[in-house]
Amino acid sequence: MSRKPSMVDITAKNVIVREAEAYGRIKLRPETISRILEGKIEKGDPLTVASIAGIQAAKLTPLLLPMCHPIEITKVDVECRVEDNEHVGCRAYVKAVARTGVEMEALTAVTVALLNVWDMVKKYEKDERGLYPHTVIEEVKVTSKVKHGS
User: 25: domain CATH number?
Assistant: 3.30.70.640
26 falls within a domain: yes
Domain count, the chain: 1
35 φ, ψ (degrees, to nearest 5): -60, -40
Catalytic option among 9, 77, 119, 127: 119
Dist. CA 110–CA 51, nearest whole Å: 9
Tell me which residue range forms the domain holding 31. 16-148
pLDDT in tens, 52-92: 999 999 999 999 999 999 999 999 999 999 999 999 999 99
64 φ, ψ (degrees, to nearest 5): -90, -35
68 φ, ψ (degrees, to nearest 5): -85, 140
pTM of the full structure? 0.94
Is a pLDDT exceeding 80 seen at residue 150? no
For residue 149, what pLDDT is reported? 81
Is a pLDDT exceeding 70 seen at residue 2? no
For residue 83, what pLDDT is reported? 98
- State which amino acid sits at residue 16: I
Query: For residues 113 and 50, is the Cβ–Cβ distance under 8 A?
Result: yes
Q: Is 119 a catalytic residue?
A: yes
